[in-house]
Amino acid sequence: MSKGVILLALGKPAYGQFAYNMALSIRAYNTTIPIHLLYEPSVKLTHELDVFTHKTVIDPVHVYQDGKFTPALAKLNLYKYLLFDENIYVDVDGICIADIERCFKQTKDYAAESLGYEPLSNKEYGWRMHWATGETIMKHYGLKPDTMIPFINSSFQFIRKGKFAEKLYAQALINFNNCIPLKELKNDWGKSQPDELYMNVACGQLSYDPTIEPQVYFRTRSMAGGNETVESLAKKYTFVGLYGTKVTNHRVVKMLYNSVVGGIFNKMGKPHVHKIEQLLNFKFMGR
């Protein structure tokens, strides 16, 4: 059974650097895992691309909706581009801090971190259901109050090719194409639709709980904690991710990113020019 990683590099040129840094960090712990880069030409890849085993230019119809850059559309079309039987998708705005091999030990055909799995009738979603209220979802999609809905973070996804995952992604796209108007959402994603909402609804429609233990460590400025190290975090997490913008991320997360990537470039005998403070200026959420 084949397995590998799929990375997305879309929009601004900096996402090419994000993807390159992520791939290098994966390679630092696993030199053999195939890495598939799915990208659009605007990212202007200028790096030594042998770190990527496969490279595919994404179809523009899977990135733009009515001429508008729509990254959620790309994430919901991932299934069409999967090259392996078992696939790990991870957002490129982060770093790998452990051997990715352990991420493939999943029993579910589709898996993601989830902040909960609750009925739509629960009005106390709070920040976990970031995108829409249960009432809004029930009204728009005609779902019953007892429909169970997960609150996934799609920064990390495990996808096993097969009938179920194909059906799940197809349903999520149906939901996206019948999206809840932006004005009815609790929050938008850079003035765009969020992929997570429509995958959440699809899981509810198929009575499926995708929840697994977190694989990505996030820490915002408001979150308590100490000066975590790569070694301490790697006992539980495989990745460190950058949540939101340069303003929202804790200094420890940025320090970890620069330390890992800087160390890799140092071993390569090259300067670490693109530090995370610079790259975060170009994150989609900052647009």
DSSP string, 241-281: E--SSTTTB-HHHHHHHHHHHHHHHHHTT------HHHHGG
Is the pLDDT reported for residue 285 higher than 70?
A: no
Quick count: other Cβ atoms within 10 Å of Cβ 261? 23
Closest CA to 222 of 251, 199, 195: 251
Q: What is the pLDDT of residues 147-196, one digit of tens each?
A: 999 999 999 999 999 999 999 999 999 999 999 999 999 876 666 899 99
Mean pLDDT on 71-88:
97
**What CA–CA distance (Å, rounded) separates 192 from 209?**
26
Q: Scanning the structure block, which residue is given the tokens 């059974």?
A: 1
Tell me what percent of the residues of the chain surpass a pLDDT of 70. 92
pLDDT bin (cut points 50, 70, 90) of residue 75 is very high
Is the pLDDT reported for residue 250 higher than 50?
A: yes
- The end-to-end CA distance of the chain, in Å, is 40
Domain boundaries, the chain: 3-218
pLDDT given for residue 196 in this prediction: 95
Mean pLDDT on 83-96:
97
37 Cβ contact list (under 8 Å, min separation 6): 7, 9, 19, 23, 45, 49, 52, 54, 55, 56
pLDDT given for residue 286 in this prediction: 35
pLDDT given for residue 127 in this prediction: 58
Fold of 3-218: Spore Coat Polysaccharide Biosynthesis Protein SpsA; Chain A (3.90.550)
What type of residue is 250? Answer: H
DSSP state of 154: E
Q: What is the pLDDT of residues 4-61, one digit of tens each?
A: 999 999 988 889 999 999 999 999 999 999 999 999 988 877 666 789 999 999 999 9
DSSP E strand stretches across 40-147: 54-57, 64-65, 68-69, 86-90, 94-96, 110-119
Q: What is the pLDDT of residues 119-138, one digit of tens each?
A: 998 866 655 677 899 999 99
Query: 202 with 179: CB under 8 angstroms?
Result: no
Q: What is the pLDDT of residues 215-246, one digit of tens each?
A: 998 876 667 677 889 999 999 999 999 877 76
- Two tokens at 205? 């429609």
Q: Can you name the residues that pair with 35 across neighbouring β-strands?
A: 5
